[in-house]
């Protein structure tokens, strides 16, 4: 576990104004010391506006510029490791939540969209394969449960899609919520869940894994394909079943921590049209860290995308879905 990490999202107060772009929204994540739980300097962090700003001042940059601070941090680290109890790596959610949400698919906009694309029975099979749930948080919402290779439920991403075209609902706001952030008693993520639990998740230690990671158990020799979005992984798994399709969750969701489970496997990255540069860099880091990994980055979208498709930030599933005839 790294000593310094970007502050996980804990509401509006955990985000700040970027020192570079000074956007009116709070788009800036600051680095924290995982031992002392204190922030580093105000300017040490990363802006969420990756394409339009791209500001990222790392702890390494900070300590390189202020070597005296680094010596103090090294001393504090030595003292802390001698006196602090071990940090719990991460928390998990009850598997019963996954089971309780595996129904009511006729009210699930995303599964209804899959049914229009591939047929009702195939849509249900995909929902069961990837453990997609139905949420009552917003009418029609789905839950993409993150279940790791050891069948532990890390969290669930609650999202709302349009059942006609499969696009995310972003108006009047971006409909994304997290199961680990909800009270398991009063705001349970399932369609009818009424879990009798007083456990609150405001101190939940989240460590995300790949969406679909539980499928790695099904075939240890099958090539793994990584995409950004959960929706894309599910669609691709139906159209091209040669691979085990997993989702990183976002452009920034692909990191060496998540990729430990890919050691000794053949892996292909399929980034969105604007993500090739970033994922090539991750691929280089992985080759250096894990000697047994066989990894490549597919750059098809980068080569063939039109200006309009680049502006829309398309992914491989968009190309395939555009080839289907979808009638309202």
pLDDT digits (tens, 9 = 90+) for 188-211: 565 544 333 334 445 788 999 999
Of the given ranges (196-200, 251-255, 317-321), which has the lowest mean pLDDT?
196-200
Domain boundary among 83, 104, 130: 83
- CATH number at 288 reads 3.40.1360
Answer whether residue 287 shows pLDDT above 50.
yes
Answer whether residue 234 shows pLDDT above 70.
yes
Any domain includes 206? no
Burial per residue of 71-96, b for 16 or more beta-carbon CB atoms within 10 angstroms, e otherwise:
eebeeeeeeeeeeeeeeeebbbbeee
What's the confidence (pLDDT) of residue 70? 54
Which residues are bridge partners to 33 per DSSP?
Answer: 4
Helix (H/G/I), strand (E/B), else coil: 299: coil
Which residues are bridge partners to 296 per DSSP?
Answer: 268
Alpha helices (H) in the chain, listed in sequence order: 59-65, 67-83, 95-100, 109-118, 120-129, 230-239, 276-289, 300-304, 307-312, 316-322
Domain boundary among 162, 181, 200: 181
Q: List Cβ neighbours of 72 (8 Å cut-off, separation of 6 or more).
A: none
User: Greatest CA span in the chain, whole angstroms?
Assistant: 65
On whether the CB atoms of residues 105 and 189 are closer than 8 A, the answer is no
What's the confidence (pLDDT) of residue 26? 87
Residue 146 banded pLDDT, cuts 50, 70, 90: very high
Answer whether residue 75 shows pLDDT above 50.
no
Domain boundary among 28, 60, 83: 83
User: Per-residue pLDDT averaged across 122-142, rounded?
Assistant: 97
For residue 202, what is the DSSP state?
T
Number of neighbours of residue 193 by Cβ within 10 angstroms: 18
Any domain includes 101? yes
Number of neighbours of residue 219 by Cβ within 10 angstroms: 10
Global pTM? 0.71
Any domain includes 70? yes
In the chain, % of residues over pLDDT 70: 84
Q: Token pair for residue 87? A: 């940090």
What's the confidence (pLDDT) of residue 11? 76
Any idea what the Cα angle at residue 224 is, between residues 318 and 285, rounded to 5°?
100
In which domain, by residue range, is 261 found? 214-322
In sign, the C-alpha dihedral spanning 274, 254, 9, 153 is positive
Any domain includes 239? yes
Is residue 306 located within the same domain as residue 266?
yes
Is residue 219 located within the same domain as residue 317?
yes
Tracing tokens 């894994």 back to the chain, one arrives at: 209
């Amino acid at each position: 576990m790294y000593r310094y990490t970007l502050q996980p999202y804990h509401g509006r107060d955990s985000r700040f104004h970027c020192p570079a772009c000074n956007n009116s929204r709070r788009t800036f994540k600051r680095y924290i010391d995982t031992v002392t739980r204190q922030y580093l300097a105000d300017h040490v962090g990363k802006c969420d506006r990756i394409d339009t700003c791209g500001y990222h001042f790392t702890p390494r940059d900070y300590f390189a510029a202020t070597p005296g601070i680094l010596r103090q941090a090294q001393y504090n680290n030595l003292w802390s490791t001698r006196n602090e109890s071990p940090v719990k790596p991460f928390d998990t959610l009850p598997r019963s939540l996954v089971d309780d949400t595996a129904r009511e698919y006729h009210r699930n906009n995303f599964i209804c969209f899959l049914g229009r694309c591939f047929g009702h029975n195939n849509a249900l099979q995909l929902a069961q394969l990837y453990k997609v749930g139905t949420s009552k948080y917003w009418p029609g919402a789905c839950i993409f449960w993150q279940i790791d290779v050891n069948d532990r439920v890390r969290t669930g991403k609650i999202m709302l899609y349009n059942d006609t075209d499969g696009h995310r609902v972003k108006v009047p706001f971006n409909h994304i919520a997290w199961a680990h952030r909800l009270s398991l008693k009063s705001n349970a993520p399932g369609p009818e869940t009424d879990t009798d639990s007083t456990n609150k998740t405001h101190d939940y230690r989240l460590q995300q894994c790949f969406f679909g990671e539980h499928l790695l158990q099904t075939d240890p020799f099958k090539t793994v394909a990584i995409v950004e979005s959960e929706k894309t992984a599910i669609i691709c798994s139906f159209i091209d079943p040669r691979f085990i399709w997993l989702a990183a969750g976002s452009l920034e969701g692909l990191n060496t921590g998540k990729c430990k489970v890919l050691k000794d496997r053949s892996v292909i990255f399929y980034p969105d049209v604007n993500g090739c540069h970033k994922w090539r860099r991750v691929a280089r880091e992985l080759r250096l860290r894990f000697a047994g990994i066989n990894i490549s980055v597919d750059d098809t979208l980068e080569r063939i995308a039109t200006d309009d498709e680049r502006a829309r930030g398309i992914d491989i599933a968009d190309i395939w879905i555009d080839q289907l005839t979808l009638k309202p």
